[in-house]
Structure 1
Amino acid sequence: MARKPRFPRKVDRHVYPGPEYRFSKAKIGLTYQDSKPDFPRQPNAPERAPNVLLVLLDDVGYGWSSAFGGRVAMPTAERLARSGLKYCQFHTTALCSPTRAALLTGRNHHSAASGVIGEIGTGYPGYTGIIPKSCGTIAETLQQNGYGTAWWGKNHNVPDNQTSAAGPFDNWPTQRGFDYFYGFIGGETDQFRPALYRGTEPVEAGRTPEEGYQLTRDLADDCIGWMRQQKSIAPQRPLFLYFAPGAGHAPHQPPLDWRGRHQGKFDQGWDAYREEVFKRQIELGVVPPDAKLTARPAEIPAWDSFDDEQKQLFSRMAENYADFLSHADHEVGRVVQALDDLGELENTLVLYIIGDNGSSAEGTLTGTLNEMLTLGGYAPDLQQLLDRQDEIGLPGTSPHYPVGWAWAGDTPFQWTKQVASHFGGTRNPMIVSWPREITEGGGSRFQFHHIIDIAPTLLEVIGITEPTMMKGTPQKPIEGVSLAYTFDEKAEDAPSTRTTQYFEMFGNRALYRDGWMASCRHGRLPWQTVGTADFAKDRWELYDLRGDYSQAVDVAARHPEKLRELQDLFMVEAAKYDVLPLDDRFIERADVTLRPSWFYGRKRVTFYSGMTYLPEGSAPKTNNISYTLTVGADLPSEGTEGVLVCVGGDMGGWSLYVKDRRLVYHYNFFDMERHEAVSDIEVPTGRVELKLAFTNESDTLGGPASARISINGKDVGHVAIPRQCRGRFSTECMDVGMDSRSPVSRGYLDRGTFPFTGRIEYATFDFDLEVANRELTPEERLEQHVRLD
């Protein structure tokens, strides 16, 4: 007799939204007295449908959490593991937004057009960063089936060129199945001065770090308040809660009152840390007893190759990261406890995914106080790091630990984030807890599964069929498979339902099939963001994972036929899921002009006062090109001052402002170098024309430039800029009339947003220098005069 399914399907719907209500129970007579009313019904979730709390941390490898043998205290992860299951062969895509797209849609990241992060998206089907409408999200399905849906934290799935106030908003959370969104858009944000949105509207944090503000804390507060509200109003409606804090992605910024909690715990260095953690992982049963600890790659320096002062610096960077990550776990714990206090935890399916990829190696070999510097392809100044080590993690810094700690955080595997060919980039801890259904508290599962398997798992356990039509668009079949069978207490040795999975990121690629894995680490190292490599020179490796948990022994020479089989199968999967063309470029793809936007191809752009919070990815390009900026302004008094136009913040950017009656242009090269032109005359009162002429002086990305400022047509200052930002200045925005986030210039560090106290009539960028530099015609001068009036 066939076994009865543990989670029988109760809702057999495939088309969303459903048909318009027909009032089938209504009776319509001549008047209400001989009529019978009927009402359209709210969609109801299947009987006993659980709440779902989906937690996704950022940039956390397999070897950090105390629940998986690491030295970072994560008591919430340990609590959930004691009541649930630990998944020890669970995989991500090796990068942020691709993993998140796969998680939300149940499709492979290239199928969801998210082969890389949106900031470097390109015009190929698998790489635009625009999740197709044919890939509906799990939230869209649950929303149509009676769930209240909400998202807190990082949203790295809005296309980078669609983040302005002009939208379009059809890929923002509130248009992709979420009733509510509170968080930030993009890869990262400052934890003390976050670029926050509620829905689609930018909002301010409202408190300072000194007053206790930190983003993860704020997200948890907001989440708890929303849950309480929902359960007070509609207690019968289940909730889908997606809690995705920025931790532990850079900038590593724990709250000020959490600093120092891991002091001394990383003094042994990364080599010894891996040995220590590996031993503990075997004791905990999260790696098999016959697993091997993989060797340190030659490209990563040994801990003992550094002197004592450098070791102290690197230890403090790891301590700071650990404080940051531990605090994030604490805030997840507050959310879990709030569900318990509401009496909802028993029937809440908690999926705690500890990292959307492996540990990040983007901090270079020595670490950094400014991750935007290293992402731009520049090496930090080690002496400057040593001199400023007391500032690590404080407001005004954007720290990231050295590559060695990323490798250590991925114990026992090879490599790190970005390297999709090896488990250091793709294998992440996951803990699943559901007290009502999972009775084997503390168990481990070693079935091979992938992030695309979460969406179909939720559909199965809730009791909903896979949609075939969503909002008028035929749906791609979900490419994941459910892992709900592993919830059974007898499933420890059950065979995995996932038998094949491809991996690819920046040309690093692999193919898993029935316990075998062919892997190819390609070219550029993950801490090198500039340059490409020859695909023809790639070397493939082969691993028999049936007895080699950690990819420690390359058996390609012994099984050439198997390697060839898997290489060929990779190409089949690559063609099927829009993986091609392979592309290993990083910073070269950060050019905003590669993605069409509202400013694409425009030679002249005029902004007006009040244009603030325009994200850099959706703003006109102002680096590595020449342009002029002309500001028509009214200075009613000698005390008029403030920011006219700026881009970026304390991590990098530029600002044109008036202070002490002088016009100032400030270029902040990642807080390492600062270059400034100050007018040699005072800015007069009344109506004036203030101009910045920025000249790119090299065909090389990041080459030298110069800037000249003028007042009413008279040159009043000049500055040479030896090197430019290659890609983005920061994770902040362009503003007219203020500096809305962190200050670009220390010259107004104590002035808050330093709003301009006069009146800005217009701020015009000219990107066609032939037009910008020629003499204006009388008609054009009249036009400018009219605008001033």
Structure 2
Amino acid sequence: MLNRLNIRPIPWLSSAALGLLLQHSAAAQTPLPAEVTTSAPNVVIVLLDDVGFGAASTFGGPAQTPGMEALANDGLRFNRFHTTAICSPTRAALLTGRDAHRANVGAVLNTATNRPGYQGILNPHTATVAEMLRNNGYNTAAFGKWHLTQPWETSPVGPFDRWPTGVGFEKFYGFLGGETDQYDPTLYEGTRPVQRPDVDNYHLTEDMSNAAIEWLDMQHSLAPDKPFFLYYATGATHAPLQVPAEWIERYRGKFDQGWDAMREATFKRQKALGVIPKDAILTPRPPQIPVWDSLSDEERKVASRLMETYAGFLAHTDQQVARLANHLKQMGQFDNTLFFYIVGDNGSSAEGGPPGSINYMGALQGLQEPVSAQLAALDKIGDADTYPQYPAGWAWALTTPFQWVKQVASHLGGTRNPLVVTWPNGFEERGGLRNQFSHVNDIAPTILAAAGMEMPETVNGISQLPMDGSSMLSSFASADAAEFHPTQYFEVHGNRAIYHEGWMASARHDRLPWSVGGISGDTSFDDDTWELYNLEADFSQAVDLAAAEPARLAELKHLFNRVAAELQMLPLHSSVDNRQPRPSLAGDRRKVEYYPGTLGVPESQIPRMANNNWKLQASISLDGEASGVIATVGGLSAGWSLYLDEAGRPVFECRIYEVDRIRLSSEAPLAPGENQLELNFAYDGQGYAKGGTFTLSVNGKVLGSARIRASQPSFYTIDETFDLGIDTGSPAGSYPQAAPIGYPLKGAKIGVVALESG
């Protein structure tokens, strides 16, 4: 025994004493497994992205969602469920059970500031429900979108304590940013960048379901007595709207009548289904959104196709959720699974602007393509070569019957989302409707209550703040259950509201929800107009009672200010208009040297290239025939790649959305041995997104130069990365058709790659 363990006897310790010591040591080092009650339910949370209240057919919308319908028939619909009106805050509130600002994620990560509550860094005193469940015997896994880790923490050097696997999830497979390409996503397995599976007709949502089902089977095989918590957060239906063509074709011609008519048709279906009251009022179109009939024939043609793509995208997503639910039934696990289907993390997105776009990342930053370019790509919209988003008019129509859209936290179009809940072992009613006011921060306390768990005072040794949400279990049991969530504030980008016991006071700030790329100015919050609504009598927030009830409005404004002060939201500010310096891996360095193996570095963490001169120098050694990527940043929508083609010739390509693209290449392959490549970009001068000249040199000899009419205004993409030796995510170059995914470098070795700004 001693020899097998390679332990030397201690001279002054007897064999018997040593054996006893080893027994005690083994017992002390073997942690006892966490206990969980045998009746504890499995938990599944499905969270879709950018889906308005009036999008899915289950709630009267135009996109067919039979999977959601089946779950609703097995369970309950909730028609007064609320999110925060934007991505990261909703996810923070969902997973922690706390208000978003208390969790320190009061703004979307892209616009986080240095102020408490808005930093976009999860508060350790608001642990996730995943961590609580894991500590109590659950297996936990997250698939899909995360968007709760700041960019300077998402490189391969971490830190990883705010990645999914650092906050309670034992398994993570998905993407970290706010969006990703559906055909070539920027993927991570645990904390490691990975390429998507090399299969024909790949799509991320299908891959998510495959991976989730595989994990469920593994978990049930190895630990059948352990409950599981599965978080399934799709990139759909956030832009880019990308889905197989057959799903788009199902909706051809369905939206030619326009968004005004679609909104009226949705409103009628909602009443017929009973998901809104018979006396609900359809709110009018805001003047900032054009009348459908004011568009030209060409504009209407493009807009219709973009909406067909969105509807197909949502229908396709629902099918993948249905696969997950059906697999639970096949496993015999469905009846004891508390299944939340949250139809959107906020209202539908107007970030495509009034005209929409076939490459919205450029339009978002002020580089809108002309209608002629949209028409030329009409039949390609939704495929792997486009990065589209629909016009803002469709976003408004998809929030029927409410006012406004995503980002507008003051109004229900931004914050009210459908919810479907099933739990056959947990409640008897099938196909019911619930109208108690509820919020995304109610999900976590509901899970704890269903599992018979108390909210822990500490998690991993860190004291915990109480949850702001309340358990929804009483509403599962009865449609007549009392209200359990009497008060809730809302705030995003200065748009704000307070709900209290049936009444809502709302103040919209001046920024329009498609004005993401610019700064709206210094409009005073004191100039914002407050509105007042009695939501008990006015389901759709249609009748402003501010003038009739000034005293009640004053009370609610006072209540909002009290809550805002507690959550350190005062003085009010719009986080998107108060950009502040944020940590960066590049720091103050104008020049950074990167070594072989560098990949997965967020674009924001390398020396600044936007609106600036910059230079890339690469040392590369060839063993013989060589091909593949040397260095790249960005992807399909915009970015650049320096690579060797299949003949070993150096090539540089840059694409700036639909504005311009250039290609520089050599007629001769690189010679064997050491080679020095240099790429220079000479910016045209002061200003925003100006053009410039690229020059490519090899071993001191200029191969060629080319002008590009514009450059990236702030960033090429928000999710792609800087990589050496391979192109992760979507391709930034036109690589050979038969090349492996990512076009990895072969036949050559990278030495040092230096990127210099200014």
TM-score where L is the length of structure 1: 0.88
Could you tell me how far 1:476 is from its partner in structure 2?
1.7
Q: Could you tell me which of 567, 576, 583 is aligned with 1:577? A: 567
Structure-2 residue corresponding to 1:344? 333
Q: Does the 8 A contact of 1:679 with 1:709 survive in 2? A: no
Q: Does 1:538 align with 2:528?
A: yes
Structure-2 residue corresponding to 1:632? 619
Could you tell me how far 1:432 is from its partner in structure 2?
0.9
1:40-59 paired onto structure 2 within 5 Å = 41-59=32-50
Where 1:94 maps in the other structure, the secondary structure is: coil
Where 1:145 maps in the other structure, the secondary structure is: coil
Q: Does 1:623 align with 2:614?
A: no
Distance verdict in 2 for CA 1:635–1:497, change over 3 Å: same
Alignment-mate amino acid for residue 572 of structure 1: R
Q: Could you tell me which of 618, 625, 630 is aligned with 1:644? A: 630
Query: Could you tell me how far apart the structure 2 residues matched to 1:119 and 1:461 are?
Result: 35
Distance verdict in 2 for CA 1:454–1:661, change over 3 Å: closer
Q: Does the 8 A contact of 2:696 with 2:705 survive in 1? A: yes
Distance verdict in 2 for CA 1:684–1:290, change over 3 Å: same
Structure-1 residue corresponding to 2:501? 514
Q: Cα deviation per residue 1:506-561 (whole Å; 9 max; x = unaligned)?
A: 11111112222111111121112212231243222221212111111112122222
Q: Does the 8 A contact of 2:186 with 2:728 survive in 1? A: no
Q: Cα deviation per residue 1:659-693 (whole Å; 9 max; x = unaligned)?
A: 56765443311143113455699866543322223
Q: Does 1:290 align with 2:276?
A: no
Could you tell me how far 1:289 is from its partner in structure 2?
1.3
Where 2:133 maps in the other structure, the secondary structure is: helix
Alignment-mate amino acid for residue 386 of structure 2: T
Structure-2 residue corresponding to 1:774? none
Q: Does 1:181 align with 2:172?
A: yes
Where 1:335 maps in the other structure, the secondary structure is: helix
Q: Cα deviation per residue 1:461-514 (whole Å; 9 max; x = unaligned)?
A: 21111122111211122111122110113xx23332212111111111111122
Distance verdict in 2 for CA 1:40–1:679, change over 3 Å: closer
Q: Does 1:236 align with 2:222?
A: no
Q: Could you tell me which of 586, 606, 626 is aligned with 1:599? A: 586
Query: Could you tell me how far apart the structure 1 residues matched to 2:196 and 2:652 are?
Result: 28
Alignment-mate amino acid for residue 559 of structure 1: E
Could you tell me how far 1:154 is from its partner in structure 2?
0.7
Distance verdict in 2 for CA 1:568–1:715, change over 3 Å: farther
Q: Does the 8 A contact of 2:47 with 2:234 survive in 1? A: yes
Structure-2 residue corresponding to 1:745? 733
Structure-2 residue corresponding to 1:355? 344
Query: Could you tell me how far apart the structure 1 residues matched to 2:64 and 2:531 are?
Result: 35
Where 2:394 maps in the other structure, the secondary structure is: helix
Q: Could you tell me which of 429, 433, 444 is aligned with 1:444? A: 433
Structure-2 residue corresponding to 1:408? 397
TM-score where L is the length of structure 2: 0.92
Alignment-mate amino acid for residue 655 of structure 1: S
Query: Could you tell me how far apart the structure 2 residues matched to 1:31 and 1:741 are?
Result: 55
Q: Does 1:377 align with 2:366?
A: yes
Could you tell me how far 1:575 is from its partner in structure 2?
1.8
Structure-1 residue corresponding to 2:13? none
Q: Does the 8 A contact of 2:194 with 2:728 survive in 1? A: no
Q: Cα deviation per residue 1:590-642 (whole Å; 9 max; x = unaligned)?
A: xxx932132212232111233223232444432223332221223455x6454
Q: Does the 8 A contact of 1:628 with 1:693 survive in 2? A: yes
CA RMSD, 1 decimal: 2.5
Could you tell me how far 1:254 is from its partner in structure 2?
1.8
Q: Does the 8 A contact of 2:399 with 2:405 survive in 1? A: yes
Q: Cα deviation per residue 1:386-440 (whole Å; 9 max; x = unaligned)?
A: 1111001111211111111111110000111111111111000001111112212
Q: Could you tell me which of 587, 590, 596 is aligned with 1:609? A: 596
Query: Could you tell me how far apart the structure 2 residues matched to 1:229 and 1:680 are?
Result: 52
Q: Does 1:365 align with 2:338?
A: no
Query: Could you tell me how far apart the structure 1 residues matched to 2:412 and 2:565 are?
Result: 23
Q: Could you tell me which of 411, 419, 422 is aligned with 1:430? A: 419
Q: Does the 8 A contact of 2:403 with 2:413 survive in 1? A: yes
Q: Does the 8 A contact of 2:186 with 2:730 survive in 1? A: no
Q: Does 1:761 align with 2:751?
A: yes
Structure-2 residue corresponding to 1:19? none
Query: Could you tell me how far apart the structure 2 residues matched to 1:143 and 1:293 are?
Result: 45
Structure-2 residue corresponding to 1:781? none
Q: Does the 8 A contact of 1:363 with 1:374 survive in 2? A: yes
Q: Does 1:565 align with 2:552?
A: no
1:633-712 paired onto structure 2 within 5 Å = 633-635=620-622, 640-659=626-645, 663-678=650-665, 686-712=673-699
Query: Could you tell me how far apart the structure 2 residues matched to 1:65 and 1:340 are?
Result: 23
Structure-2 residue corresponding to 1:216? 205
Alignment-mate amino acid for residue 730 of structure 2: S
Structure-2 residue corresponding to 1:128? 119
Identity of aligned residues (%): 45
Could you tell me how far 1:726 is from its partner in structure 2?
1.9
1:434-513 paired onto structure 2 within 5 Å = 434-489=423-478, 492-513=479-500
Structure-1 residue corresponding to 2:722? 734
Distance verdict in 2 for CA 1:618–1:748, change over 3 Å: farther
1:70-219 paired onto structure 2 within 5 Å = 70-208=61-199, 211-219=200-208
Structure-2 residue corresponding to 1:777? none
Q: Does the 8 A contact of 2:195 with 2:728 survive in 1? A: no
Where 2:390 maps in the other structure, the secondary structure is: coil
Q: Could you tell me which of 707, 714, 729 is aligned with 1:720? A: 707
Instruction: Identify the range of structure 1 (644-653 vs 374-383) with the bigger mean alpha-carbon deviation.
Output: 374-383
Q: Does 1:548 align with 2:523?
A: no
Distance verdict in 2 for CA 1:256–1:614, change over 3 Å: farther
Query: Could you tell me how far apart the structure 2 residues matched to 1:467 and 1:461 are?
Result: 15
Where 1:563 maps in the other structure, the secondary structure is: helix
Alignment-mate amino acid for residue 631 of structure 2: V
Instruction: Identify the range of structure 1 (92-101 vs 471-480) with the bigger mean alpha-carbon deviation.
Output: 471-480
Aligned residues: 732
